[in-house]
Amino acid sequence: MPSENQYRVSYDYGYVEFHSNRNNESLTFSYKGTGGYYLNVKRIFVLVDSNGDVIETLQSITDSTIIARDDAIQTNTDIQEEESIRVSNELTRQSQESDRQTNTTNAINNLNDAVDTSQLIYKSPVATFNDIITTYPTPELSWVVQTLDDSKYYRYDENSEWIYIQQIQLSQIDTKVSKLGDTMSDYLTLHADPTNPYHASTKQYTDTKLSKSGGDMTGNINMGENEINLGGFKIKHNANLNSIDFEF
């Protein structure tokens, strides 16, 4: 507090402070100061009501602006973080898609390799192994050629070489029946009587049939209404008269 003959000016809040002994006195005074003149933002009134009460100051506007600025900064930070997450997720997706495409390509290549290494394209046989080179001077992958002198099979592989793959014993072939026709040295047993015009017939089925060239019958023939033609002489059963009709 100032002494009795002193006073103090508050430039921030705009009032003059005196000693308490000066209460209830009317004073006139003047003062000087040096330097710039500053007003506190709280003393700059922006909006007052009809009673003269301050509603808004420059300080409150400044505070609101600072809050809005901080909110904008925080919003921008949140957006940047979300964008960073999105970019990271997109990079992960692209990496996964790249891996998927790579795996798919590798799987297709492996499948093609498997086909190339297992495919067999049979060509006409030759007499000996040396004849393969002269007969097929420009072979392609997977060609297979048999050499007749030893019944071996050779395949042209991915290393551009004729590789032996198998040998068929002629003794094994001799025990098989050819689809093109063959002569059997023993009986062929069928599992049942034929049911199709192109099926082979068993003996038991054939024995029940009358040969066109003739034979001995051990039972009756039921002709129904059909006739027997004996070179112009016809015999027919007449069911209406229960009789036999003859026609010359």
Quote the tokens at residue 174: 């001799």
pLDDT value at residue 20: 86
pLDDT value at residue 140: 92
Select from 70, 64, 65, 15 the least CA-distant residue to 40: 15
Q: 3-state class of 200 per DSSP?
A: coil
DSSP conformation class of 91: H
The neighbouring-strand residues paired with 146 are: 153
**pLDDT digit string (tens) for the chain, length 248 residues:** 788 888 887 766 667 888 888 888 887 767 666 666 677 788 788 888 888 888 898 889 999 999 999 999 999 999 999 999 999 999 999 999 999 999 999 999 888 877 777 788 999 999 999 999 999 999 998 899 999 888 899 999 888 999 998 887 655 556 677 666 778 878 888 889 898 988 888 888 887 777 777 777 777 777 677 777 776 777 777 766 666 666 66
Judge contact between 246 and 234, C-beta under 8 A: yes
Residue corresponding to tokens 């001799």: 174
pLDDT value at residue 167: 83
Q: Which residues contact 8 (CB under 8 A, 6 or more apart)?
A: 2, 16, 17
What pTM did the predictor assign? 0.34
State the amino acid at position 17 in one-letter form: E
DSSP 117-160: HH--EE---BSSHHHHHHH-SS--TTEEEEETTTTEEEEE-TTS
Domains and CATH numbers, the chain: 121-174 (3.40.1620)
Q: 3-state class of 131 per DSSP?
A: helix
pLDDT value at residue 80: 94
Judge contact between 114 and 136, C-beta under 8 A: no
Quote the tokens at residue 22: 């000066």
Q: What's the rounded Cα separation, in Å, for the pair 172 and 142?
A: 25
pLDDT value at residue 169: 66
